C-alpha cells in the first residue's frame, strides 16, 4: 500500500479489535461519497485517487477494501455482476431516467470476505449521505453477515483476485460502442449532480 493508504488503514483500525476493525474499514470506505470518475477505474491508482479526492464508486471502493482487509489477514474475493441502471428502484429526475433507459447493461463490483471459514458479501457502494433517497444503503453492518447488494444483478461472476476481476471488467466495458460510451458518460455526470443535490438537501 502507498503512504496515504497506510495512513488511513492505521487511522481506521487504531485501538480496535479485529471484528471492530473489519466494520470500521467498511464504514469509512462506504462513506466516501459515490461518484463515477473515469481516472479511478485504475486498479493501481484508483484507491489512492479516491482517498485523495474523497470521491469514488464501486471499483476503487472494492479494491481498497480488498487491500485493507488483506492487511488485517482477511481473505478477499471479488464479486462482479451485470445490471441496468434503468432497473434500479430509484426516483430519478426525469432527464436521468430517460438516459438510464437508453444506456446499455453495465457492471458492478463488490467484495467477498472470509470470516471463520464463511464467505460474506461486502458492498460499500452507497454512502450514508444518500440516506432517505431510496438507495439500498448498508448503514448497520455487524462484520460477519452479507450486506445488501447495491444493484439488481442480472448475471453474477466471482474472481479470486483483484487483477482477474479488473481484467474481466475492462474487457466487458471495452466492448461498448462510441455511442454507448457517450451515453454512459452523460448518465454518470447527471447522476453525480443529482447525488450532490441529495446530500446537500
Enumerate the H helices of 144-177 as residue ranges: 162-173
Question: Considering only CA atoms, which of 176, 159, 196, 175 is closest in space to residue 34?
Answer: 196
Q: The pTM is what?
A: 0.95
Instruction: Say how far apart CA 41 and CA 47 lie, in whole Å.
Output: 9
Instruction: Say how far apart CA 48 and CA 74 lie, in whole Å.
Output: 21
Contacts of 43 (CB under 8 A, 6+ apart): 63, 162, 163, 166
Question: Considering only CA atoms, which of 174, 173, 163 is closest in space to residue 63?
Answer: 163
Q: Is the pLDDT of residue 3 over 90?
A: no
If pLDDT is split at 50, 70 and 90, which confidence band does 2 have?
A: low
pLDDT in tens, 93-135: 999 999 999 999 999 999 999 999 999 999 999 999 999 899 9
Q: Is 113 helix (H, G, I), strand (E, B) or coil?
A: strand
pLDDT in tens, 133-171: 999 999 999 999 999 999 999 999 999 999 999 999 999
Best CATH choice for the domain 3-200 from the list 3.30.70, 3.40.50, 2.20.70, 3.10.620: 3.10.620
Residue 105 pLDDT: 96
If pLDDT is split at 50, 70 and 90, which confidence band does 1 have?
A: low
Amino acid at each position: 500500500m502507498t503512504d496515504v493508504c497506510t495512513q488511513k488503514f492505521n487511522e481506521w483500525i487504531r485501538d480496535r479489535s479485529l471484528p471492530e476493525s473489519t466494520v470500521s474499514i467498511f464504514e469509512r470506505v462506504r462513506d466516501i461519497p459515490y461518484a463515477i470518475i473515469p481516472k479511478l477505474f485504475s486498479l493501481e491508482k484508483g484507491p489512492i485517487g479516491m482517498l485523495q479526492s474523497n470521491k469514488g464508486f464501486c471499483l476503487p471502493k472494492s479494491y481498497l477494501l480488498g487491500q485493507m482487509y488483506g492487511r488485517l489477514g482477511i481473505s478477499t474475493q471479488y464479486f462482479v455482476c451485470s445490471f441496468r441502471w434503468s432497473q434500479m428502484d430509484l426516483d430519478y429526475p426525469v432527464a436521468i431516467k430517460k438516459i438510464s433507459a437508453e444506456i446499455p447493461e453495465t457492471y458492478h463490483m463488490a467484495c467477498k470476505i472470509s470470516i471463520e471459514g464463511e464467505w460474506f458479501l461486502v458492498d460499500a457502494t452507497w454512502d450514508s449521505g444518500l440516506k432517505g433517497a431510496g438507495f439500498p444503503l448498508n448503514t448497520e453492518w455487524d462484520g460477519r453477515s452479507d450486506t445488501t447488494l447495491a444493484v439488481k444483478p442480472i448475471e453474477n461472476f466471482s474472481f479470486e483476485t483483484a487483477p482477474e476481476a479488473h481484467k474481466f471488467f475492462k474487457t466487458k466495458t471495452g466492448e461498448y460502442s462510441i455511442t454507448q460510451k457517450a451515453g454512459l458518460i452523460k448518465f454518470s455526470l447527471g447522476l453525480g449532480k443529482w447525488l450532490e443535490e441529495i446530500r446537500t438537501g
